[in-house]
A and B are shown apart, each in its own frame.
Chain A
Amino acid sequence: MKPLLLKLIIIFMAVALIVPTASIAYGYYQKINSPANNNPFDYIPGNSGMVATVHKNNSLFYIYNDNNSYGVIANISYNIVPSNNSTIFAPAGNGTSGNLSQNVTVKTLIYDKMEVYEVKNVNLRAILKNTANINLGSLLVNNTTNVFVYTISNKYVVLGQENAINESISAHMKNHGAMKLQAYLNLNDNESIYYNLTGLSGPAISAKFLTVNVTQNHSLVNIYFSRQIMPMELKLLKTALANANYSAFGNLSSNLSHPQISAHNNVLTLKYNITPNRTGAVFKTLNIKT
C-alpha cells in the first residue's frame, strides 16, 4: 500500500472515530456540569402535593411531600458513619449541627444504581429543627424514624422518608422532576410554598394549586384556578372571607380575617400582613393535613 494512501486512511479512521466519541463525551460533559443536573427541583417528584423552599442559616432547604412522605434537599454536609453522640448532619452554612444522642445504625441500599443510606432510629424532627430551624411539629407522627439519605453530585443531600427518596430518585432518572414548579416559587423569599389542590375532596372548586410566599413584611397567597375569575365570584369570595369563622386560628385570626384580595385572570391573590416565622405555622394556617 502506498504510504500516502495509508496515512490518509489512518487519519480518516482516527477522525471518524474521534469525532462521534468527542461529540458523545461533550454531551456527557454538559450533563455533568449542567446547572439542571444539580438543580434540586430535578430531584423533587413533579407530582408532589407540596413543595416548599425555606431560607435558614444562609442555606436554602427544599421540602417536598409525596403521598404523605416527606423529603428535604439541602446543601448540608453529613457524616454517614455514626457513633454515639456523633454529628451526623451539619449545615453547610453557619448554623448549628444536628446532634444525635441515640444509637443509630446505617444500612446501604441501592435504588436505581444510586447508593442510598438508611439511617435507622433517627429523630428527623430534631435534625430539621437543629440544622434548619424548621419546625415541622405535628406533621411528623413519630419521634424517631428511619431516614433515607443520598447525595446529588456532592453538592446537595436528599434525606427523608423511604417513599419520598424513592420518588426523588425516580423523578431524576425518569426525568419527571418538579422543574416546572420552580416558576411558581420565589426562592428569594423567606418561605415559598406550592400546594397542589387538585386532589382535595370537599366542595367542588376549580382551583388547581396555590402558592404562599412569605417575606419580611407580608404573606402572599396566590390561588390558581383552571378558568378566569368572574367579578361576581370575587365579590362573593370577599364576603365569604369576611364572614368566615377564624376562631380556630387563635392569635392569627385577626390578621387572617382582613386580607387584601385581588384577582387577575385565573389567579386570585390574598395578601396578609402576617409573617409566620415557622413553616409549621404556615401549614396550619392553610389547614394542610398530612
Chain B
Amino acid sequence: MSKFGTVYIQYVKNYYRSRSFYLMLFLISIISIMMIYFSFKYVNNLPKFFGSSSIPIQIKEALFYFLWTLVLLYVPVFAAVFFGSPAISSEIENKTAYFIFPLPINRYKLYMGKFLAACTVSVIIMMIYLIAEVGTLSYLFHSLPTIYFYYSFILLILFILAMTSITFMISAIFNKNTYAYITVLLIYYIVFYVGSFIIELLYRIDPLYILSDAASVIERAYMNINTENFFSTPSLSPVPFADIIFSALIMIIYFIASFAIGLILFERKEVS
C-alpha cells in the first residue's frame, strides 16, 4: 500500500476510535430516531399546518424530505468542527507532531490523508441519517427518492468537503485545539450568518456566494423555502437548477481555496 493509503487508513482508524466519532454517532442516531418518530406521528397531521385536510402526495413527500434535510445544514458543520478543527492543532498540542513530522513522508500526503479521513467519517455519519431518511420516507410514501434527493446528496458532499477544508485551514493556523474550535464556529455562525443577514437587509438579495447561503440549497433542492432568509418569497417548487449549479460551484471554490491555503500553512508549520 502506498504511503498516502497507509496515512489515510490509519487516520480513519484513529477517527473511528475517537470519542468525537462516538459523540457524533450518538447525536445522529438520536436525531434520526426523533425524525423517524416525527415522520410516522405527523405524516397525516402535517397537512393541517397548511389549513388543508389533504395535500398532493408529491408535495407532502417533498415537504418531509425538506424537513429531514434541515438537519443536514447543521450536522456537517459540527462534524467538521469535531473532526477537522483539532486535526493539525492537536498534533502540536499533544506533541505527537514531534513523532509524525520527522517521518519519511511528504507533508502534503499527511495533510491530504488526514483530510480525506475526516471527510470519510463525516460522510459515514451523514449516511446513517440519509439511510434512515430514505428508508422512512420510502416506506411512508411507497416511492423511491426523486432526482432532487440526488441533487441534495451531491450538494451535501460538496458542503462536507468545503466545511472540512475550512476547519483544516483554521486548524493549521493555531497550535491549540480550543482556538481552532472557537474560530471555526465564529466564522461560520457569526461571519457567514451575520454577513449574509446584512447583505440581505441592505440589498434584498440572497447572497448565495456565502457558504452558509450556498449550503441552504441542500434543503431548497426539495422546496424553495429559505429558512434563513427573511426577505425571500417561499415556494413549494424546488429551487431553480441554475441556483443548484451556482451553489455547487461556490462550495467547490471554498473547498479548493481553503484546501490550498491550509496545505501551504501546514507545509510551513514548525514544531516549537
A residues at B contact (CB < 8 Å): 1, 3, 6-7, 10-11, 13-14, 17-18, 21-22, 24-25, 28-29, 31-33, 37, 77, 79-83, 86, 106-108, 113-115, 117, 150-151, 153-155
Q: Is the CB of B235 within 8 A of A33?
A: no
Bound-state CA distance A281–B193 (Å) is 54
Bound-state CA distance A6–B264 (Å) is 9
Is B52 on the interface with A (CB-CB < 8 A)? Answer: yes
Query: Which residues of the partner chain A approach B108 to less than 8 Å between Cβ atoms?
Result: 6, 10
B residues at A contact (CB < 8 Å): 47, 50-53, 55-56, 58-59, 106, 108, 205, 208-209, 224, 232-238, 240-243, 245-246, 249-250, 252-253, 256-257, 259-260, 263-264, 267-268
Could you say which of A3, A25, A114 has the most chain B C-beta atoms within 10 Å of its C-beta? A25
Considering the complex, give the chain A residue whose CB is closest to the CB of B235: A154
Could you say which of B50, B234, B268 has the most chain A C-beta atoms within 10 Å of its C-beta? B50
Bound-state CA distance A152–B39 (Å) is 31
Considering the complex, give the chain B residue whose CB is closest to the CB of A153: B240
The 8 Å CB contact of A155, one of B59, B233, B256, B268, is: B233
Given contacts A7-B267, A10-B264, contact A25 B242 (CB under 8 A): no
Q: Is the CB of B263 within 8 A of A150?
A: no
Bound-state CA distance A107–B60 (Å) is 12
A25-B249, A115-B236 provided; 14 other pairs, C-beta below 8 A?
A: A11-B260, A11-B264, A18-B253, A21-B253, A25-B209, A37-B242, A81-B50, A83-B51, A83-B53, A106-B56, A108-B58, A117-B56, A153-B240, A154-B233
Closest 8 CB pairs of A and B: A14-B260, A25-B249, A108-B58, A28-B246, A83-B52, A154-B233, A81-B50, A115-B237
Query: Which residues of the partner chain B approach A32 to less than 8 Å between Cβ atoms?
Result: 208, 240, 242-243, 246
Query: Which residues of the partner chain A approach B240 to less than 8 Å between Cβ atoms?
Result: 32, 153
Query: Which residues of the partner chain B approach A11 to less than 8 Å between Cβ atoms?
Result: 260, 264
The 8 Å CB contact of A6, one of B47, B246, B252, B267, is: B267
The 8 Å CB contact of B59, one of A1, A22, A29, A81, is: A81
The 8 Å CB contact of B249, one of A24, A33, A107, A108, is: A24
Bound-state CA distance A26–B205 (Å) is 15
Could you say which of B59, B237, B256, B257 has the most chain A C-beta atoms within 10 Å of its C-beta? B237
Q: Is the CB of A18 within 8 A of B257?
A: yes
Query: Which residues of the partner chain A approach B235 to less than 8 Å between Cβ atoms?
Result: 151, 154
Q: Is the CB of B246 within 8 A of A7?
A: no
Query: Which residues of the partner chain B approach A80 to less than 8 Å between Cβ atoms?
Result: 59, 236
B135 CB, min distance to chain A CBs, angstroms: 23
B57 CB, min distance to chain A CBs, angstroms: 8
Considering the complex, give the chain B residue whose CB is closest to the CB of A150: B237
Considering the complex, give the chain A residue whose CB is closest to the CB of B205: A33
Bound-state CA distance A7–B268 (Å) is 10
